[in-house]
Structure 1
Amino acid sequence: MYDEKLDRPDERVEVAPVRAGEELDWDALERYLRATVTDADGAFEVLQFPNGSANLTYRVALGEQMLVVRRPPFGQVAPKAHDMEREHRVLAGLHPVYPRAPRAVAFCGDTSVIGAPFLVSEYRRGVVVWDRVPDTMPADAGHQLGIAAVEALADLHAVDPAAAGLERLGRPEGYLERQVGGWTQRWQAVTTYDGPTATDAVADELASTLPVQGPAAVVHNDFKLDNCQFAPDDPTRVTSVFDWDMATLGDPLTDLGTLLNYWPDPAVVSILPGVDELGLPSKEEVVAAYGARLGRDLSGGDLAWYEAFGYWKTAVILQQLYARFVRGETSDPRMAGRGAHVTALSEHALHLLKTI
């Protein structure tokens, strides 16, 4: 049974003591950081960012210096997923031309240090919006928060990949076909259902109705409100965007479709408890703001395909998280309920595809 309280605690904290079972070799990590990072003096302390769902992310203090350390989750990892080397490359390239990307500090591919490749980046102070407007902002700031997030996404898609040194990050040609094929394989690897499902039906329908792909851009691949960090007292300013391990070059409308699938919609139960109460702009306003920022006309019917793709991809991700819980690869109790929305999201994706 899905327990919403596990995903919507009374008070979300930014960092917390490390969750049982998600400890790393702290001595080895400390030795690596002191040998690699400049000004790595002072006491070594670790706390965990507890609100993410997959990659294990920690705030490490070396005296006054704060760093973020990210590694893939324990256990079975889907091919090309949770790629810390890719995230480091993306941050290193984007930071100078898209300052919302945190500065990359180091990448360690030596799995003997903490058991997996890991990324080190700068730590930034700010607020992440989950299920309520932060107390540091006006209570009615939801609309501004939403528009700011959309504009941050549009600004990413306006980046020239060559200016960031990322022109070879991916292969834009055939991107949509590969995305559908790759996520279909991931679904088949983690499904616990007997017989055909709505998720299988969406995969078939997406593959048979691929839109004509637009100009390539740097694609985040998991862009959503809670992957944005805001200035504490300014709901119009996104200061950071997180979680770049799936970034590539491809059709930017997949990012917009992903964002829309996390947005409030009376036609489907949100997978983000509380998001309906934030006062965010409507989906129509989101699309209009995105198009206006880029000077792009999005009045055609293809956008429903991208939104359906977003719902379907999220359904697969939720099933992956649930499968990790079933296999005993995580001690996070929230993962027990991740499979509860899979069918509803897939059925909504089918509904959207019928509108094309």
Structure 2
Amino acid sequence: MEDRPQSFSSNMLLNDSANSSESDSEAHSAFTQTEHNIVAAYLIIAGAISIFSNIVVLGIFVKYKELRTATNAIIINLAFTDIGVSGIGYPMSAASDLHGSWKFGYTGCQIYAALNIFFGMASIGLLTVVAVDRYLTICRPDIGRRMTTRNYGTLIIAAWVNAVFWASMPTLGWASYAPDPTGATCTVNWRKNDVSFVSYTVSVIAVNFVVPLTVMFYCYYNVSRTMKQYASNNCLESINIDWSDQVDVTKMSVVMIVMFLVAWSPYSIVCLWSSFGDPKKISPAMAIIAPLFAKSSTFYNPCIYVVANKKFRRAILAVVQCQRRQEITINSALPMSVSRNALTS
């Protein structure tokens, strides 16, 4: 039983044509132990920041029951995806880096890779729901006002179901999961760029990258045009929403989408390169930087909430400083609600 993780790691790192001695050499030469230790330190620090900040975000919604609205459920679900990656993926990857190679065996590799894909795809789907929410609230208020808790629940569940589908496919034979060239983390086995991998990768990028980006750009382009039109016509006072809050929330959403691009573009490029090019030409540094960038969203989303939304910032500071409910007044719901009711005690 002790030999299985080593055999698995060696056999899955390279193409089927490579022999075991070559795979052992490549698995252990991709990074030095010092470089593994640096990656582990980054994962430990980033994971701790992510878990703490997202727990604070959830704490705000626990503290202020008025914030538990249909639209705020999107942010709550995003926080759970971030906690899932930082609470499960980061520790396993950090432990393997400190060990110098993947240390959780075949089953652990499948679970780790599937959970990371699952939470990543769910996050992308939820960000798309955020964009649709902004579009309906700003551009189509007639429809936005008719959106119910059930409607939002359906969109959120669809994002999770989509994530389950794509995360489970490699475990069922469409592509596969294996350690990456560093040997210390697991992901889709892009080193084995056969027909199964290429078809899976192209499908994932089309459904979970190109389509969401198209929807996001369409939504925010129209949101931008509508906001400029209202401003130029000096008719903001006639809009039945708290416009300053909506501008704040929309800016926050746009920053989230930009950071989504920054986080997932390197990973998508690596997958496409390995599908239509020579995966052996992808450097070990790029192989590890791409998934690290993708994971980075777990700790920058809470930072975006704080920086881009003054009311959210006020609430989160109150929670961190352990202020009593009576000591803070928030003028409207945070951060995605169009409610105009004051959150007072």
Normalising TM by the smaller chain, what interval?
under 0.3
TM-score by length of 2: 0.25
Higher fraction of strand: 1
| TM-score, with structure 1 as normaliser | 0.24
Which structure dedicates a bigger proportion of its chain to helix?
2
Please say which structure displays the higher CA radius of gyration.
Answer: 2
